[in-house]
Structure 1
Amino acid sequence: MTAPQSTLDADTSAPPPESHARRWSGLGVGFIVKLVLMAAVNAVGLLAIIAAFQAESWIVFGFALALLVIADVVYFTKKALPLKYLLPGLSFLLIFQVFIFLYTGYIAFTNYGSGHVGSQEQAVEAALAQGERRVEGSPSLPLAVVERGGELGFAVVLDGEIQAGTADEPLDSVGAAPASGAPTEVPGWNIVPRNNIISDKALQDQVVDLRVPVSDDPNDGSIRTRDGSSGAVYLSTMTWDPESQTISDSASGAVYTATDDGRFVSEDGTALPAGWTVNVGFANFVELFTNPAMLQPLAMVTGWTFAWAILSVAIPFGLGLVFALIFNDPRVRGQKVLRTLFILPYAFPAFMSALLFRGMFNAEFGVINDFFFGGAQIDWLGDPWLARFAVLFVNVWLTYPYYFLVCTGALQALPQDALEAASIDGAGKFRQLRSIILPLVLVSTAPLLISSFAFSFNNFTVIYMFNNGGPAIPGAPYALGNTDILISAIYDISGVSGGAADYGLASALSILVFIVVGVISAIAFRQTKKLEEYQ
């Protein structure tokens, strides 16, 4: 007996029952992995957002928030499949390239550097701290050193209650005072044992240097301690008036007024050491071209940078091409062994090689003078031109194996029929080299030469590790040297190696270097198209 037609239609149209195992596999291990990865991404993103919010860095805050929202939308929707693959690469591009470039551009238009770090509020606090004196007749307050979230603070007994705070958070009531002595329990804080302070010199210095404001008004003074068990109110001889934007020194009677360039300056031109970051427009760019103290040294550095970049490409390329032509000749025996020996410098780390050559070129005990110049006292690192020759020699030794490998590959890829046809037509070896081999080799190596020029233009490692850009240019600011190139000059101006730092000026110079390298590379890439006529 057959079933009714309606029953058959129902049976065939109904989907088969799905087992529990299939439902679980439908959820997918990949989905679970995605949840775990996105949870980690959200955790890191939220930490960055919170840190930027606390630091009041609104650009970073907005950038991190937007990136996190986009990531969640892309990976938890089915309509953005291509972006699921593109977003990681785009994110790294935005973070490590675009954002850094934009932030560098922002710093280039500020006075950020030594004496101009942070906000005006922080500059006021620093100025008041410099003139601090203990308030005459102020009582010693029972004190305990406390800690919360890795940040040190003070808890003192004041006005019959326990008040605690940190350098960034003024004193605030946290509980009732004990019957006597310093607080032994502070709600919400961990008390740092006194024995730990006594036995740890670094911790002692932090405690002695710590200042906890009494209130939000910096003119009310701050709590300081000398022994970690008692504190007193210290008040600065400086008084801050936010309405008139002045700081008055009661000891000397001087009045320091806030200026547009982020400083407190008195009528006689004396400025307080602490300043703050402000927008200075194109002042940094103007200084690079108009400041006499900077103009001549930077002109020398710029000229040497172009010479360095050109010679660091032309000489190693020529040397590598010559060796490639020699060892590509089938008549040369032991080609594999010889090629291996010639590319050995390429296997050594550049910074280690630069340090080794620095010792070898030493005027007193270097092997260069001892073995090749009969022990003569040639000051390779002290004379400007000898130092330039030496560092260029080191860079050629490090880079020619790269061009040797590239040119060898280009020569082996040449069409042999073209060379055979030229030989049949009577072209000699030199004519083949000039008219066929070199143009075809340049077609394949020109992009590499352009990128190598950009790399050499910013080759900081060899310059810094060999002799730190020395010898020094007499009278030059920021310790600029005769073998400094623009990138190492930026390093010196930034103050990372010590001395005064001017991040705004260094950023402005970085922007100019970027523009110069970009323009030269663009022009060179356009010119390389002419070589394609030989293909």
Structure 2
Amino acid sequence: MPSSDASSVSSTWLKWGILSLVSIIAGYAIVLMYAKGESSFALLTLVLVTAGVIVFARKDTYAHRYIYPGIAAVVLFIIFPLLYTVGIAFTNYSGTNQLSYERVQQQFLDRTFADEDYKFQFQLYHAGNDQVQFYFSQGDQGLVSEPVTLNKGLTQLAISPTDVVPSGEKAKLRLVTQNRRLLSKLEVVTPDGTSLAMSGLRQFAAKTSLYLLDQDGESLINQQDGKVIKPNFDIGFYQAVNAQGEFEGNQLAPGFIVSAGWFNFERILTDEGIQGPFIKIFIWTVIFAGLTVLFTLAVGMVLASLVQWDELKGKAVYRMLLILPYAVPAFISILIFKGLFNQSFGEINQVLEGLFGVRVNWFTDPYLAKTMILIVNTWLGYPYIMILCMGLLKSIPADLYEASAIDGAGPVHNFFKITFPLMIKPLTPLLIASFAFNFNNFVLIQLLTNGAPDIIGSSTPAGHTDLLVSYTYRIAFEGGGGQDFGLASAIATLIFLMVGGLALLNLKASKNQLA
């Protein structure tokens, strides 16, 4: 018993030690994330770590330790990204508006300009032992440094007045260019305490802050021209203001993130350059997913019925050959088909030209490009349906076919009156799931056409073969006018609602099937 008690005490101390260490590390990480403005990630870490500590520390919650990792993973990888994406949809977050207002203001305050009244020409003179002396001149005034070595440790240099030029050999310009990175980071301090920074290959000048913060804590005053700029919180940019305090002139980069309300959703519905392509792509996405399910179902069910036919010889070989496309990685098959459909050198066009004298524009004609995508996706998807149907065919009672044969029915009649009705009901939830998968079939579009051919007149990157998911990706990462993450998130939110509706339909269909 004493040894058992000692083991229990040591286990308790070990548990509390680990929990304390995890809490300290997590607390430090939370403070860092919050200090850098990542409050959402800090809150996520706080919630997950606090919940974990409570689960493992309390006796009444200790039984939940087995399900906590799964719940934490769902929160971390599903719920949080979803909420984060929805949150971005209500902002102007884009390639030009990525920082917080405070960080953008600090960037403006950190900008400097060379003071023309405090500018010095400089030369380097060799001082022996691989050392050099800096000599600065402005009119009749001369300033010189002590001999120093040009290395990474040289970050600050003091200079003093002199009436004579250093006696060493003047260094060539090549020495300056070779050490330009080091010299650009060097701070030169004059006798009156002014800091000089490199402003040219032969020049150092006093760096003065370009902007000064006004008393209101928002306005910035340009010290070169006296103009005042203020943050425009409606668009997320600093802009110049006139005497009446009205915004005028161009937006000054970088921009900052502000709440945009329903603006991104309104753009989808009202902006002709977005609305038109969005509707076209939405309709094509539904048609693509629907036709894919229809074609794969037809091909898969027919082939499953054929390979299960008792009169067919070598059924095992046919099954193996027909299932092979399912065993090959999809991206390899897609790239192979991309080569086969090549308009100039592809084998498919060569065969068509040899037989009919035509070359098909698979990648430049919108309708032919969509036809090509459906052909490739049917090839990729039919083995899955065929495997399902092969299993379901085994569950159909053989006496049904025997009774049908007595009535004189043939194979076609049996297929439509017995096989199809008995298989379609259990297949329905799987077909809905297949529709939802193809609704977001990003890999196929990205590798085969990348959305091409492009839709003319679209204000965002959009193609005739884009699905909503690839359209969203292109807006977020290929935007020519700036990556528009806010608009992409709004479209992603709509996709989530659509796919979520399909998921609910799938659950309902599954319940009806079980009933």
Q: What TM-score range do you get, normalising by the shorter chain? A: 0.7 to 0.9
Q: Does 1:101 align with 2:82?
A: yes
Written as runs of structure 1 = structure 2, the 5 A alignment for 1:24-173 is: 45=26, 48-127=29-108, 132-133=113-114, 136-137=117-118
- Aligned counterpart in structure 2 of residue 257 of structure 1, from 230, 240, 264: 230
Taking a change above 3 Å as real, the CA distance of residues 509 and 344 of structure 1, as seen in their structure-2 partners, is same
CA–CA distance in 1 between the matches of 2:311 and 2:427?
Answer: 25
CA–CA distance in 1 between the matches of 2:47 and 2:64?
Answer: 15
Alignment-derived partner of residue 296 in structure 2:
316
CA–CA distance in 2 between the matches of 1:271 and 1:32?
Answer: 60
When structure 1 is superposed on structure 2, of 460-469 and 39-48 the one drifting more is 39-48
1:370 offset after TM fit, Å?
A: 1.4
The CA deviation string for residues 408-466 of structure 1, in whole angstroms up to 9 with x for no partner, is: 11112223344445555666544443343223212322111111111101110010011
When structure 1 is superposed on structure 2, of 513-522 and 451-460 the one drifting more is 513-522
1:373 offset after TM fit, Å?
A: 2.9
CA–CA distance in 1 between the matches of 2:44 and 2:512?
Answer: 43
Alignment-derived partner of residue 438 in structure 2:
456
CA–CA distance in 1 between the matches of 2:111 and 2:359?
Answer: 51
CA–CA distance in 2 between the matches of 1:211 and 1:323?
Answer: 76
* 8 Å CA contact 1:442, 1:531 repeated in 2: no
* 8 Å CA contact 1:116, 1:277 repeated in 2: yes
Taking a change above 3 Å as real, the CA distance of residues 522 and 28 of structure 1, as seen in their structure-2 partners, is same
Alignment-derived partner of residue 326 in structure 2:
346
Q: Partner letter of residue 494 of structure 2? A: L
When structure 1 is superposed on structure 2, of 512-521 and 482-491 the one drifting more is 512-521
CA–CA distance in 1 between the matches of 2:28 and 2:366?
Answer: 50
1:353 offset after TM fit, Å?
A: 2.0
1:397 offset after TM fit, Å?
A: 1.2
1:52 offset after TM fit, Å?
A: 1.7
Written as runs of structure 1 = structure 2, the 5 A alignment for 1:233-312 is: 233-241=206-214, 243=216, 245-251=218-224, 254-261=227-234, 262-266=236-240, 267-312=247-292
Alignment-derived partner of residue 149 in structure 1:
none
1:109 offset after TM fit, Å?
A: 0.7
Equivalent residue of 1:481, what SS? coil
- Aligned counterpart in structure 2 of residue 410 of structure 1, from 388, 392, 396: 392
CA–CA distance in 2 between the matches of 1:377 and 1:192?
Answer: 68
Taking a change above 3 Å as real, the CA distance of residues 38 and 250 of structure 1, as seen in their structure-2 partners, is closer
Q: Partner letter of residue 515 of structure 1? A: L
CA–CA distance in 2 between the matches of 1:439 and 1:192?
Answer: 84
Aligned length: 460
Superposed CA RMSD in Å reads: 4.1
Taking a change above 3 Å as real, the CA distance of residues 477 and 434 of structure 1, as seen in their structure-2 partners, is same
* 8 Å CA contact 2:154, 2:186 repeated in 1: no
Q: Does 1:398 align with 2:372?
A: no
Written as runs of structure 1 = structure 2, the 5 A alignment for 1:384-533 is: 384-421=366-403, 423=405, 429-495=411-477, 500-523=482-505, 525-526=507-508
CA–CA distance in 1 between the matches of 2:432 and 2:274?
Answer: 30
* 8 Å CA contact 1:133, 1:236 repeated in 2: no
Q: Partner letter of residue 397 of structure 2? A: P
Written as runs of structure 1 = structure 2, the 5 A alignment for 1:179-218 is: 191=153
1:371 offset after TM fit, Å?
A: 2.8
Alignment-derived partner of residue 360 in structure 1:
340
* 8 Å CA contact 1:293, 1:477 repeated in 2: yes
CA–CA distance in 1 between the matches of 2:197 and 2:447?
Answer: 44
1:323 offset after TM fit, Å?
A: 0.3
What's the TM-score once normalised by structure 2's chain length? 0.77
Alignment-derived partner of residue 147 in structure 1:
none
CA–CA distance in 2 between the matches of 1:441 and 1:116?
Answer: 53
The CA deviation string for residues 307-350 of structure 1, in whole angstroms up to 9 with x for no partner, is: 11111211111111110010011211111111111111112222
Richer in strand (by share): 2
1:250 offset after TM fit, Å?
A: 5.0
Q: Partner letter of residue 69 of structure 2? A: P
* 8 Å CA contact 2:273, 2:460 repeated in 1: no
1:405 offset after TM fit, Å?
A: 0.9
When structure 1 is superposed on structure 2, of 83-92 and 259-268 the one drifting more is 259-268
CA–CA distance in 1 between the matches of 2:414 and 2:310?
Answer: 17
1:280 offset after TM fit, Å?
A: 1.2
Q: Does 1:329 align with 2:302?
A: no
1:272 offset after TM fit, Å?
A: 0.9
* 8 Å CA contact 1:124, 1:240 repeated in 2: no
1:359 offset after TM fit, Å?
A: 2.1
Taking a change above 3 Å as real, the CA distance of residues 232 and 99 of structure 1, as seen in their structure-2 partners, is farther
Equivalent residue of 1:477, what SS? coil
CA–CA distance in 1 between the matches of 2:397 and 2:332?
Answer: 40
* 8 Å CA contact 1:133, 1:237 repeated in 2: no
Unpaired stretches in structure 1, ≥5 consecutive residues: 1-16, 142-178, 215-220
* 8 Å CA contact 1:45, 1:64 repeated in 2: yes
Percentage of pairs with the same residue: 31
What's the TM-score once normalised by structure 1's chain length? 0.74
When structure 1 is superposed on structure 2, of 460-469 and 266-275 the one drifting more is 266-275
Unpaired stretches in structure 2, ≥5 consecutive residues: 123-144, 157-173, 241-246
Q: Partner letter of residue 207 of structure 2? A: Y
* 8 Å CA contact 1:439, 1:531 repeated in 2: no
1:227 offset after TM fit, Å?
A: 9.8
Taking a change above 3 Å as real, the CA distance of residues 47 and 355 of structure 1, as seen in their structure-2 partners, is farther
